[in-house]
Amino acid sequence: MTDAAIARTTARPPAGEPSAWDQLKVNRNWLGFWFMVPAMAFLVLFLVYPLGKGLWMSFTDARIGREGRFVGLENFEWLLDDRDFIHALVFTLVFTFVASAVKFAIGLYLALLLNNNLPFKAFIRSVVLIPFIVPTVLSAVAFWWIFDTQFSVITWGLVKLGFIDRSSPINWMGDPFLTQCVVIFANIWRGIPFIAITLLAGLQTVSPSLYEAATLDGATKWQNFRYVTYPLLTPIIAVVMTFSVLFTFTDFQLIWAMTRGGPVNATHLMATLSYQRGILGGNLGEGAAIAISMVPFLLAAIMFSWFGLQRRKWQQGESND
Amino acid sequence: MTATAGTDPKTTAALAAIGRSTAKDDHSEGMSYLESLPRKTVTVYLPLFIIMIVLLFPFYWMFITSIKPDQDLLDLHGGNPLWVGEPTFRHFYKLLFESNYPTWLWNTMFVAVCATFLSIVASVLAAYAITRIRYRGAQTVGGLIFLAYLVPPSILFIPLSTIIHVYGLFDTPFALILTYPTILIPFCTWLLMGYFKTIPYELEECALIDGASRWQILVKIIIPLAVPGLISAFIFAFTLCWNEFIYALTFISSNPNKTVPTAIVSEFVDGDVFRWGSLMAGALVGSLPLVILYAFFVEHYVSAMTGAVKE
């Protein structure tokens, strides 16, 4: 037996060796299983199980320190009549839409700017990423101070420039609408670097010869962008925007660090409302229900940005590989 | 996922381009010489300058606030708030010697290092199994791991907090060390899968024929060759841990166990009095380790970040 096996190994080139692979196939599934154990253990214990438990809890009246009783859809029925919840839902949608759209527009613009031949290119690119690296909470704290109602440096600047009067300062963090604008602004500020640098990575792959050819054919700058850059960039835009929408929709730390949902619940996102009701208020069931009600919107947002942008690629007959 | 697999070589090429540009000029700006300098100033330099100012102003403001004496902080009408006449390091002194800040820094560091280490070990094994062992269902498992990345912590923290209580981990660093990998493993696995795929299969085949076990192949061949990928994964995972807020806020309650982000927002506010100087100093010091790490590994960082959207 062994002689025969050795004979076979030596007879054939090593790259196409079948017998060693045949032997491996016998236990490959088990081997794969053992290698997967650590990752799976974490994900099952701390992700899949909590996800299921969260779904279950949303159907119970669980409170802190007390197991819940099954109450069916009662939590969700209450939430539909809850003005704060409806408000948080609407604001979350507006927040996500406005912030993602502006982030994308400025991010793409910045990427196009950075794609120019600039002095200190590498340095500028590194600096642009800094808002993304600094922990969100810590930069949110800075914004909290920048937009402080009494001592805002923005107000100071506007007074100095003569746009407003010193006696009537802007109540950045006290007026619901202004506060909403401020948190959206902070979210945009935080998100632009990620989008810009990723899109820049995409732009770098577009061959300059395409632009040269298009320009020779008489294309304007806009046509260059519209018919060369944009189509080649769509796949990466789809992925980047999926992530951006996902993380904007479920944002928690920015709001919690800056406003805690205030003033008068104006800036509650679903995530922060869920924390306030579930953990601070102790109504775990209700909090879980709010968190679970994010799921359909999340799926819709992902589907939209994913397939909405991906479709273009199929239409143009590119392979999906 | 398969739909965007097409971006893979593209992104990789782009990353290489970004990496190269630090060393020498790339020539991706085909006809920029056609633009005159004044025109370029208006269309490129000026907007870029404005965006950079907006992106960096909060850090400047953070810094200037943290070295201002207290009386200057609340006086916008005296001098110029954008400048500081008599800088003081009192806020930093108070932060480092009269508060629990060093403990919080240590906690954050400890949790981040442990969670990152655990995640990378688990991810290396998982990524290797998915890309190379190709057991039945490997593709499906790969897809599921990607889906796990799309499950946001904002949905999980309530059920997780009850589970943490049941496991007896509440208010211990282990609550964070064991939950952070759920965020990190999907990311690191995905990133490492990309790196492992670039390692030639022939190396492994030869080793297998020479009688090496899968474990030996992983430790002696794959891991040494994937070091750049491991560094990327480490840096990004570490950053994510440092940044994490909602789990730390929910699972940790006592002051000495807190991490920097949670402590900053809760411990520097006495009732209605915000200690802005200390707050800003704390935010600055808390950001510093990441910025330093980033400064040393910019290229790895960028590749890790784009790696997140690679497939």
pLDDT tens for each residue of B222-241 = 888 888 889 989 988 999 99
Of A117 and B292, more confident: B292
pLDDT score of A289 more than 90:
yes
pLDDT of B32 higher than 70: no
Q: Per the domain annotation, does A299 fall within a domain?
A: yes
A1 in a domain, yes or no? no
Please give, one letter per residue, the 3-state secondary structure of chain B: CHHHCCHHHHHHHHHHHHHHHCCCCCCCCCCHHHCCHHHHHHHHHHHHHHHHHHHHHHHHHHHHHHCCCHHHHCCCCCCCCCCCCCCCCHHHHHHHHCCCHHHHHHHHHHHHHHHHHHHHHHHHHHHHHHHHHCCCCHHHHHHHHHHHHCCCHHHHHHHHHHHHHHCCCCCCHHHHHHHHHHHHHHHHHHHHHHHHHCCCHHHHHHHHHCCCCHHHHHHHHHHHHCHHHHHHHHHHHHHHHHHCCHHHHHHCCCHHHCCHHHHHHHHCEECCEECHHHHHHHHHHHHHHHHHHHHHCHHHHHHHHHHCCCC
Beta-carbon contacts of B100 under 8 Å, excluding residues fewer than 6 positions away, are: B255, B256, B258, B263, B267
> Does A221 map to a domain?
yes
Q: And the tokens for A196?
A: 């810009």
CA distance B308 to A70: 39
Max CA pair span of chain B: 79
The number of angstroms, rounded, from the C-alpha of A111 to the middle of its chain's C-alpha atoms is 18
At A152, the pLDDT band (50, 70, 90 cuts) reads confident
pLDDT tier, B29 (very low <50, low <70, confident <90, very high otherwise): very low
CA A229 vs CA A200, A205, A222: distances in Å: 11, 10, 10
Chain A nearest CA to B73, separation (Å): 8
Q: What percent of chain A has pLDDT over 90?
A: 36
Whether residue A129 is contained in a domain is answered as yes
Closest CA to B264 of B251, B250, B281: B281
Per-residue pLDDT band for B7 (boundaries 50, 70, 90) equals very low
Q: Using the predicted structure, report yes or no on whether residue B178 has a pLDDT greater than 90.
A: yes
Residues 6+ apart with CB under 8 A from B149: B186, B187, B190
CB within 8 Å of B251: residues ≥ 6 apart: B160, B161, B164, B169, B170, B171, B175, B176, B179
From the list A46, A146, A250, the residue facing B182 with the nearest CB is A46
In a domain, A64, yes or no: no
* CB A233, CB A203: distance < 8 Å: yes
Task: Note the pLDDT of residue B186.
Answer: 92
Superfamily of domain B91-308: MetI-like (1.10.3720.10)
In a domain, A50, yes or no: no
Cα(A84)–Cα(A286) distance, integer angstroms? 13
Distances (CA, A) of A315 to A235, A305, A319, B11: 13, 16, 10, 22
CA dist A240 and A233 (Å) reads 11
Least confident of A46-55, B8-17, B119-128: B8-17
Residue B75 is predicted with a pLDDT of 67
d(CA A9, CA A17): 7
- pLDDT at residue A12 in the model: 45
Structurally, chain A folds into a number of domains equal to 1
User: How confident is the model over B76-114, as pLDDT tens digits?
Assistant: 666 677 777 778 888 888 888 888 889 999 999 999 999
Whether A18 shows a pLDDT value over 60: the answer reads no
| Shortest CA gap A12–chain B (Å) | 12
- Both structure tokens of A150: 């009494």
Is the pLDDT at B173 greater than 50, yes or no?
yes
pLDDT at A13 over 50: no
Chain B positions in Cβ-Cβ contact with residue A109 (cut-off 8 Å) = 47
Calculate the dihedral angle through the C-alpha atoms of A276, A282, A285, A288, rounding to the nearest 10 degrees: 30
Q: Distance from B118 to chain A by nearest Cα, in Å?
A: 9
Interface of B with A in 89-128 (CB under 8 A): 118-119, 121-123, 125-126, 128
Q: Count CB atoms within 10 A of the CB of residue A123.
A: 12
Tokens describing residue A133: 């690296």
Interface pTM (ipTM) of the complex?
Answer: 0.83
Structural domain boundaries in chain B: 38-87, 91-308
pLDDT of B22 over the 70 cut? no
Nearest beta carbon to residue A239 from set B7, B141, B145: B7
- pLDDT reading at A163 higher than 90: no
pLDDT digits (tens, 9 = 90+) for A22-68: 555 557 778 888 888 999 999 999 999 999 999 999 998 888 877 88
Structural domain boundaries, residue A115: 82-313
Q: What is the mean pLDDT of residues A136-159?
A: 85
Quick: pLDDT tens for B268-282. Answer: 766 666 678 888 899
Q: Which residue of A has its CA nearest to B158?
A: A288
**Residue A189, min C-alpha distance to chain B (Å):** 7
Chain A residues close to B51, C-beta within 8 Å: 106, 110, 113, 192
Whether B158 and A118 lie within 8 Å, measured CB to CB: no
Between B15 and B220, the more confident residue is: B220
Question: What is the value of pTM for the model shown?
Answer: 0.84
Residue A63 inside a domain? The answer is no
- Count of pairs with CB atoms under 8 A, one residue in A, one in B: 351
Asked if residue B255 has pLDDT above 90, the reply is no
Question: What CATH number does residue A228 fall under?
Answer: 1.10.3720.10
Q: Which residue has the higher pLDDT, A242 or A15?
A: A242
Q: How far is CA A174 from CA A167, B80, B127, in A?
A: 16, 25, 49
Is there a contact between A156 and B134 if contact means CB atoms under 8 Å apart?
Answer: no
Where is pLDDT greater, at A280 or A313? Answer: A280
Q: From CA B49, how far away is CA B294, in angstroms rounded? A: 22
